[in-house]
Amino acid sequence: MIKTEVAVIGSGPGGYTAAFRAADLGKKVVLIERYDSLGGVCLNVGCIPSKALLHTAQIINEASESSSIGVTFNEPDIDIAGVRSNKDNIVTKLTSGIKALAKARKVQIINGYGKFKSPTMISIEKAGKEVEVVEFEQCIIAAGSSVTKIPGFPFEDPRVMDSTDALELESIPKRLLIVGGGIIGLEMATVYNALGSEITVVELADQLIASADKDIVSPLLKRIKKQYSNIYLNTKVSSMKALKSGIKVEFEGKNAPEFDTFDKVLVSVGRSPNGKLIDVDNAGVMADDRGYISVDRQMKTNVDNVYAIGDIVGQPMLAHKAVHEAKVAAEVICGHKSGFDALTIPSVAYTDPEVAWTGRTEKELKDEGVDYDKGVFPWAASGRSLSIGRSEGVSKALFDKKTGRIIGMGICGTNAGELIAEATLAIEMGCDMADIALTVHAHPTLSETTAFAVEMAEGTITDLMPPKKR
């Protein structure tokens, strides 16, 4: 029996942040992780390895497109083992870094599958057998989410992959089908396309990256339409069969064929929370049927000494959301009056071009009948974007007409994921048009596009014709 003040289940970005913050505030902390490596999905099979592969993809793409600027490279020689080990090295570097930080903070790491025994006890299982019991005063559940599997699909066949499998980079299929045109599917499409696969994307909704505004996704759609074999929107995969010749997939959709056969299929239709997998009811914590755990703004569940953070408490399932929630939970446990009151959580698709948005989307504003002002700046008028060889891209800023403050921003283009930070800060600070437009942005930069979008709304732009003069 291990006794501790704070037990944290799960060592992803949320879990290790919660554990470290609580330890820094003077608590004795135990961090429970079912895998050998710390860092959770994000570091091991998510954000980080995918970004390593996306960087590889970017180099390949830029080299192949550079003949237009007068420099022609030979076809690249791709050593897939080298690509894989570069990715693995980065992951190892980061995960061992976390281990070192845990050690420096005297956070005790327990490897094993944590399940609640009672409101104060967690059983640690290895291979289904209890090997240890942790008794805690307070617990933070950071057990995350798992890939959603569609029943009936032949996942037992190695050619049907989830995102974890796809990141393994077993082989480069000639024809790859991606089921689900969300962030994860499109990022993997970018990687495999650069490495030589012919990509087909199938999406149930009427647009890719359904939670973003359509006009923000459109520059990406335009580019990948040329690169990929097919993009089927409004299309359902009605069945999937593993044949010797490949994976036979039947479609239901206006523009899709009845069926097609692929060398590999990536199913990326979202993630499901793990709330049902750790016996939370033994602690009296309520999880709904899908596995989400309800919490208040201090990340407390319905049970006083149990907190929950990250994917397991709701959308958006993003590491940076989990990290902020983790700090709140740890601080509340240590007696601080913390609370999660961020106005927005930015989202980024690291595709090429990137898609990023923060605050409210235009469709949300329309649905809710909010009176808003909008400024849209096409990157074709950005000197910096043109000089890096890219003319697509768009920045859109949204303002509440009532308060005059910025309430949303959407960007598609190179480095959109970096650029979105300015708008997120502006939303938190309650900036209005003039605050952003009158802030001097360096020229020529991509960051200017944010100011230009705002100037389009304000009517003060000079690099384009303003839609209305003010």
Partner 1 sequence: MPSIKNINLPDIGDFDEVNIIEILVSVGDIINADDGIITLESDKASMEIPSPIAGKVAEISVKIGDKITQGDLIIVIETDDKGEEAADNTDTNETQSQQSDSIIVPVSVPDIGDFKEVDVIEVLVKPGDELLKEQAIITLESDKASMEIPSPVSGKVDSINISVGDKVGFGSLILNLETNNLSSSTGTIETSEVSPNSPAETVTTDTPKVINNSGINTAPSESHASPSIRKLARELGVNLERITGTGKKGRILDADLKTYVKEIVLSGGTGSAIPPTPVVDFSKFGEIESRPLSRINKLSGKHLSASWLNIPHVTQFDEVNIDQMEEFRQQQKSRGVKLTPLVFIMKAVVQALKRHPTFNSSLDESGENLILKKYFNIGIAVDTPNGLVVPVIRDVDKKSLLELATELLETSSVAREGALKPKDFQGSGFTITSLGGIGGTQFTPIVNAPEVAILGISRSQMKPVWDGDNFVPTLMLPLALSYDHRVIDGVQGAKFMADLNSILKDIREILL
Binding site for partner 1 (CB under 8 A): 148, 150-151, 180, 182-183, 203-205, 210-211, 269-272, 286, 288-290, 292, 294-297, 302, 313-317, 321, 337-345, 403, 405, 407, 428-430, 432
Q: Contact 30/136 with Cβ under 8 angstroms?
A: yes
Torsion angle (degrees, nearest 10) of CA 277, 283, 287, 293: -100
Q: Write down the least CB distance from residue 2 to partner 1, Å.
A: 31
Q: Which uninterrupted H or E stretch holds 58?
A: helix 47-65
Determine whether 421 is exposed, middle or buried from the number of CB atoms within 10 Å of its CB (0-12, 13-18, 19+): middle
297-318 burial code (b ≥16 CB/10 A, e <16): ebbbbebeebbbbbbbbeeebb
- Cα four-point dihedral sign 158, 162, 167, 168: negative
Q: Write down the least CB distance from residue 439 to partner 1, Å.
A: 14
Judged by beta carbon, residue 146 or residue 227, the one nearer partner 1 is 146
Q: Indicate the DSSP class of residue 455.
A: H
Judged by beta carbon, residue 96 or residue 302, the one nearer partner 1 is 302
Judged by beta carbon, residue 289 or residue 371, the one nearer partner 1 is 289
What span, in angstroms and rounded, lies between the C-alpha atoms of 200 and 39?
31
- Catalytically annotated residue among 55, 320, 336, 443: 443
Q: Residue 66 has which token pair?
A: 């550079």
Closest C-alpha to 102, from 40, 30, 53, 187:
30
Q: Write down the least CB distance from residue 272 to partner 1, Å.
A: 7
Q: Residue 346 has which token pair?
A: 């930015």
Determine whether 65 is exposed, middle or buried from the number of CB atoms within 10 Å of its CB (0-12, 13-18, 19+): exposed
Q: Write down the least CB distance from residue 232 to partner 1, Å.
A: 13
Judged by beta carbon, residue 78 or residue 210, the one nearer partner 1 is 210
Q: Write down the least CB distance from residue 287 to partner 1, Å.
A: 10
Q: Write down the least CB distance from residue 311 to partner 1, Å.
A: 10
Judged by beta carbon, residue 386 or residue 434, the one nearer partner 1 is 434
Q: Write down the least CB distance from residue 289 to partner 1, Å.
A: 5
Tell me the residue type at 283.
A
Is omega for the bond preceding 444 within 30 degrees of 0, making it cis?
A: yes
What span, in angstroms and rounded, lies between the C-alpha atoms of 8 and 283?
14
DSSP 145-179: EEE---TTS-TTSTTEE-HHHHHHT----SEEEEE
Q: Contact 47/323 with Cβ under 8 angstroms?
A: no
Judged by beta carbon, residue 122 or residue 179, the one nearer partner 1 is 179
DSSP 201-258: EE-SSSSSSTTS-HHHHHHHHHHHHHHSSEEE-S-EEEEEEE-SSSEEEEEESSSS-S
Per the annotation, the verdict on 55 as an active-site residue is: no
Q: Contact 199/227 with Cβ under 8 angstroms?
A: yes
Judged by beta carbon, residue 51 or residue 236, the one nearer partner 1 is 236
Judged by beta carbon, residue 111 or residue 294, the one nearer partner 1 is 294
Q: Write down the least CB distance from residue 407 to partner 1, Å.
A: 7
Judged by beta carbon, residue 214 or residue 405, the one nearer partner 1 is 405
Q: Contact 338/328 with Cβ under 8 angstroms?
A: yes
Q: Write down the least CB distance from residue 302 to partner 1, Å.
A: 6
Beta-strand ranges (E) seen in 335-405 are 347-349, 354-359, 372-378, 394-400
Return the number of other C-beta atoms located less than 10 Å from residue 60's C-beta: 20
- Annotated catalytic sites, by residue? 443
